[in-house]
Amino acid sequence: MTVGQTLIADICYLAGLVLFLSKFYSWDLSRNIKKNKFYAAISIISCVVAIGAIEGNHFLNRPKHTSVYLQYLAPKIINRPEFNGVGPGRQLGFNVTWMNFNPERVFNASTKTEIIVIEKPNADTPKRILELCNKERIKFDEEYQSGINVTSELARGDGIWGSVGTDPLSESQSKGLFDGSTRIYVISFCSWQDAGKNTDSSFRCNFLQWLPIKSSNSYTDKDLVWHNCFSNK
């Protein structure tokens, strides 16, 4: 028996136990049978069955998600000369943050972020990126279960973050960021637990395309327009 309202189910189970024992004792006494050990055995078995039903109902109706959630924030460019310019040999770097805006604390939070540069994306690119996300998410979940990179608890207003950077850009990659033929994908995974040790996880994927040409070759967050990788899915 699976009941969504577990408290009501518990009451029903206990009421059923009391009703069964009262009916059994009434029937037994009407036959003038006096077997104290028999009474005790029936009572113990009935209680064990009722407790098993209650515990099983609680297990089947345990929360599918945690009572808390970490909010993903769009990537922010690393404001350092070696990570905020575009050109052959230059690199772009980003910070990705998952924030706790819940009144409750978040426990055992962990995150992993990856960056991919793709030239000449086509209609199959979103599918390939999704397949990569699913593959990396499985790997991340396995690492999380083994305790790799798990941090301390996060109070309200605290966050967990990671930094990623491209390899030195080639000339074609750099030009592609200005004409739309190059995309930078940032994929971030995150897992956490609530106070009840319930585990939840999420991932986000954004890509960057069509950077404006700037004489200073120094980019800020205002110059970046992030797109959802799977907005058409």
Percent of the chain with pLDDT over 90: 64
* Token output for 164: 């990623």
- What are the Cα distances from residue 178, in Å, to 40, 74, 170, 211? 82, 21, 13, 5
Integer Cα distance of 169 and 215 in angstroms = 18
CA atoms within 13 A on the CB side of 55: 6
Confidence at residue 66, expressed as pLDDT on a 0 to 100 scale? 74
Continuous H helices in 31-124: 36-60
For residue range 177-201, list pLDDT tens digits in order: 999 999 999 999 999 999 988 999 9
For residue range 23-71, list pLDDT tens digits in order: 656 655 555 555 555 655 666 676 766 576 656 555 444 445 578 999 9
- Record: fold of 70-228: Immunoglobulin-like (2.60.40)
Integer Cα distance of 121 and 98 in angstroms = 28
Give this prediction's pTM: 0.72
Integer Cα distance of 73 and 95 in angstroms = 9
In sequence order, the 6+-apart residues with CB closer than 8 A to the CB of 1 are: 9, 53, 57
Which of 223, 178, 206 lies closest to 84, judged by CA? Answer: 223
pLDDT at residue 133 greater than cutoff 50: yes
